[in-house]
């Protein structure tokens, strides 16, 4: 029988150097590796505030996928 998603251990990457985020992730039981992308965190001035976190997350994801 092939392994299910519950049988495989997921690899989690925290793309942030924030000590608070690392603390919170450990406190809730996640194991992860920290990989901080070297990206420009600017965003378009016209972007809605609610869209900024997703925009920056996509930039981080794209950077980490290239390296």
SS (H, E, C) 2-32: CCCCCCCCCCCEECCCCHHHHHHHHHCCCCC
pLDDT of residue 11: 83
55 within a domain of the structure (yes/no) = yes
State how far the alpha carbon of 1 is from the alpha carbons of 10, 23, 43, 46, in Å.
19, 37, 47, 52
Maximum pairwise Cα distance, the chain: 52
Number of domains, the chain: 1
Identify whether 42 is part of a domain. Answer: yes
pLDDT tens digits for 1-60? 444 555 456 689 999 999 999 999 999 999 999 999 999 999 999 999 999 999 999 999
Residue 54 lies in a domain: yes
| Domain contains 6 | no
In a domain, 3, yes or no: no
Position 6 scores a pLDDT of 52
pTM above 0.85, yes or no: no
Question: Considering the domain boundaries, does residue 8 fall inside one?
Answer: no
Domain that holds residue 19: 13-66
7, part of any domain: no
pLDDT of residue 66: 87
Question: pLDDT value at position 22?
Answer: 96
> Residue with structure tokens 């994801």?
61
1 domain-assigned: no
């Amino acid at each position: 029988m092939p392994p299910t998603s519950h049988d495989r251990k997921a690899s989690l990457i925290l793309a942030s150097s924030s000590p608070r985020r690392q603390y919170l992730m450990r406190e809730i039981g996640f194991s992860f590796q920290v990989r901080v992308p070297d990206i420009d965190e600017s965003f378009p001035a016209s972007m809605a505030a609610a869209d900024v976190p997703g925009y920056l997350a996509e930039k981080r994801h794209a950077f980490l996928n290239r390296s």
